[in-house]
Amino acid sequence: MNRAPEISESTVDERREYINKRYPCIADCESCGLCKVFHGKNAEMAYDDYIMGVRSFADVTGDFRR
């Protein structure tokens, strides 16, 4: 998958599309585990600061690696 779009070079819709494609919900939490990684949130909620242009993709990702 390509790198996350830079905030300064993308729109909210482009960033939202990137997150949804990178972390697709397969509606089977037993085999997927993304909601567990994102502390009970779906990817779009977890990356809201990135999608809205507040924080970089790397900064938000760092929150979930702790």
Residue 50 lies in a domain: yes
Helix, strand, coil share (%) of the chain residues, nearest 5: 55, 0, 45
For residue 42, the model assigns a pLDDT of 87
Tens-digit pLDDT profile for residues 4-59: 999 999 999 999 999 999 998 877 666 677 777 887 788 999 999 999 999 999 99
Domain membership of residue 1 (yes or no) is: no
For the chain, the C-alpha Rg in angstroms (whole number) is 12
Domain, as residue range, for 42 = 7-63
Q: How long is the chain?
A: 66
CA distance 35 to 55: 21
21 within some domain: yes
Domain assignment of residue 52, yes or no: yes
Domain count, the chain: 1
Query: In this structure, is residue 25 part of a structural domain?
Result: yes
Q: Could you identify the residue written with the tokens 């994102």?
A: 38
